[in-house]
Structure 1
Amino acid sequence: MAMAKQQNQPGRTAMSGLERLSLRVSSMINHPVAQIQRWVTIHRLDTDGEREWKEVIGLLSETDGIDMAWNVDGSVTLRWEPMAEEDRLMETIEQLEVEAPF
């Protein structure tokens, strides 16, 4: 019962599916191991909506300096170059974190 009250507090909004997916992808890209190896594989989860998945993947595909490879299992592997290209990747991550679906 206490949880229901907590969720109904004024000013508190639930995170949208796009926000959750963007945050997850951003966290995966920013992970120290991904930053060292300059690649990461992103899997679409059952909880990721089709529209949200296409929007995030579309944003990533339009970003200069990111190479995308579709894997047999439906996942996507992102690869990027170090140095100047990293700045563009960081811009995309920031855009994913800031954009709202409305």
Structure 2
Amino acid sequence: MDRLGLRVSAMISSPQAQFGRKVLIHRLDTDCDQDWEKIMELLLETDGLEVAYCDDAAVALQWDIPTDDDLVIEREVDLDVVRQTEVEPPF
């Protein structure tokens, strides 16, 4: 499972896939049925990811560039703590 996950992750993270926002993942003969199904399940649950099964046991993944509306960052900052931890630069 770990090797399959690393292989799929590397394919998705490749510069070519990131530039085109798509990748074609081929299932290898050495990929266990259970591991393949688990990876596919994880991919199907991923928001913003389109998964299309191909005839040759490959899977095409495609995604859009996230917009500002997609990025939700919730963080509380205590300004008193920030002010107390600021350090003067040494120059």
TM-score by length of 1: 0.65
Q: Does 1:23 align with 2:6?
A: yes
Bigger helix fraction: 1
Aligned to 1:68: 51
SS class of match (2:23): strand
User: Displacement, 1:74?
Assistant: 1.2
Q: Deviations over 1:34-67 (max 9, x none)?
A: 0000000001101100000000010000111000
Runs of 4+ in 1 over 6 A off after TM superposition: none
Which sections of structure 1, spanning at least 5 residues, go unmatched? 1-17, 88-102
Structure 2 residues without counterparts, runs of 5 or longer: 72-91
The count of residues paired between Structure 1 and Structure 2 equals: 70
User: Where does residue 42 of structure 2 map in the other structure?
Assistant: 59
State the match for 2:26 in structure 1. Answer: 43
Aligned alpha-carbon RMSD (Å): 1.8
Percent identity (aligned): 46
User: What SS is found at the alignment partner of 1:33?
Assistant: helix
Greater relative CO (CA pairs within 8 A, separation 6+) = 1
TM-score, with structure 2 as normaliser: 0.72
* 1:67 aligned counterpart, secondary structure: strand
